[in-house]
Structure 1
Amino acid sequence: MASVAPQATQEERTEASRRRIIEAALKVLAEEGYRNMTVARIQEVAGLSRGLVGYHFGSKQGLLEALIDSIRQDYADEVVKELDAGDPAGLDAILEMIDSYLTRLGGRPNRNTVLLVLMVESISELPELRTAVQSLNAVLRRRFGGWLTRGVEDGTVRPDVDPAVEAGLLQGLIRGITLQWLVDPDGFDLVAARRGALAMVRRSLAP
């Protein structure tokens, strides 16, 4: 007799529904823009019943905040945990992070498109999202700052480097490259930019 697969628990079904809504919001926001990102459109793309966005997230703002956190957590799970587990030297961790970020950009542009859209919208159209965006940026700066401090201590980064200042510059570097490529993927050489960025950072930070 064939075995019967166990049914998903209520918690598993709830999480699956939340994930479908988040992925639908990401798709609509990246491909159709914020103005077309209505609750009705998200539910249509997700293929779920009406009312579930409000049930799971409370409001459209709640959904957008959950989307930002989901992108941050996915990247932390995929990249940062692997880096931390390997315990690389400070400069090596920074270079691996930049390399991974820009390499993954070419294969998964939607996530970066969404982040940049929400960053821009939070300046004027969606000020209620500014706290979530600020938190997202602060997390990345702290990561870079921690690796810079480690690098100063282990001798792979110049001792006169200010980790707080340099962390902001590194964040600006990868965000700027990302923006240029998303706006003009045919005219901007992402591979060359990645190689150039790695070489520039190494020259700038190494003793």
Structure 2
Amino acid sequence: MTGATAAPAPRGAGGAPATQPERTEASRRALIDATIALLAREGYRAASVARIQEESGLSRGLVNYHFGSKLKLMEAVVERIRTAYKDQTVGEHGRETMTGLEQVLEMFGSYLNRMVVRPEGSRVMLVLATESVSDAPEVRSAVQEAYTGLRETMIEMLRAGIADGTVRADLDPVGHAAVLAAVLRGTALQYFVDPDGFDLDGTRAAALAMLERDLSADRGSRRPPPPRR
């Protein structure tokens, strides 16, 4: 974005000049958006502070001003992705009315579907996870927190299913949650490495059928919901 002009001044509600808190939030949001775009498009090494500021169209020095460091910005990126996923799936698909088994199947299917519809979040988490065990160990704690959060959500769903009788009572929620998360992450890796050659639809259908057979208290009498488009 060499030669890019400065981003237009943010406006508040009703088109009035933005307040200082609104300007601050707009700048933070722009920097996070720019970081996500760079990470998804070019990887971690390309996402230097200088490139992030250039991508955002904001003045130099604002990464440190708003976040204190690149690490804190990366932590904000991870939190944004986690929050966006929750906001766009939990309420959107009405999980609060589902059984525990239905919640697991719906979450699994919607996660894989979002890799096509909204790939940036999954791609960025994959980039950060890979870098956290090699060139960027400083972001590992943020990735660990996100991974732990996904497993804990699955544990809650599995326990809810055991309680409501839709998930078999002898199942280990902690162990199964780890396996479910591993299948999701592994599927994401294969898809992003070879999006044209990897059969995501077939993988989704096979995974949902396998999960239904393994988890269901009725051992196969139910059918997983169709993938949401």
Shorter-chain TM-score range = over 0.9
In structure 1, how many angstroms separate the alpha carbons of the residues matched to 2:168 and 2:45? 46
- The 2-side partners of 1:68 and 1:146 are apart by 22
Alignment partner of 1:139 out of 131, 137, 149? 149
What TM-score, normalized by structure 1, do the two folds share? Answer: 0.94
Q: Identify the match of residue 22 of structure 1 among 29, 32, 36.
A: 32
Q: Which residue of 2 aligns with 1:114?
A: 124
- Counterpart of 1:40 in structure 2 is 50
Identical columns (%): 51
Q: Deviations over 1:37-93 (max 9, x none)?
A: 111111111100000111111111111111111101111111134456633100000
Give 1:132 shift: 1.1
Q: 1:96 maps to which residue?
A: 106
Letter paired with 2:120 = N
Name the structure 1 match of 2:10: none
Which of 13, 16, 21 in structure 1 is aligned with 2:23? 13
Length-normalised TM-score, structure 2: 0.85
CA contact (8 A) 1:145 1:163 kept: yes
**Residues 26 and 114, structure 1, Cα contact 8 Å, conserved in 2:** yes
Consecutive unaligned residues in structure 2, runs of 5 or more: 1-13, 218-229
Q: Which residue of 1 aligns with 2:190?
A: 180
From 42, 45, 60, the equivalent of 2:70 is 60
CA contact (8 A) 2:95 2:103 kept: no
Is 2:166 the partner of 1:156?
yes
Shift in Å, 1:126:
1.7
Moved more, 144-153 or 109-118: 109-118
The answer (yes or no) to whether the contact 1:83–1:93 under 8 Å persists in 2 is no
Counterpart of 1:185 in 2: which secondary structure?
coil
| Aligned with residue 204 of structure 2, among 161, 175, 194 | 194
Q: How many residues matched?
A: 204
Q: CA deviation at 1:147?
A: 0.5
Gap runs ≥5 in structure 1: none
For 2:191 and 2:144, how far apart are their aligned partners in 1?
A: 23
Partners of 1:188 and 1:31 in 2: CA distance: 20
Residues 23-45 of structure 1: per-residue CA shift (max 9 Å, x gap): 11111111112111111111111
- After TM superposition, give the deviation of residue 8 of structure 1 in Å: 2.1
User: Which residue of 135, 138, 141 corresponds with 1:125?
Assistant: 135
Whether contact under 8 Å (1:109, 1:182) holds in the other structure is no
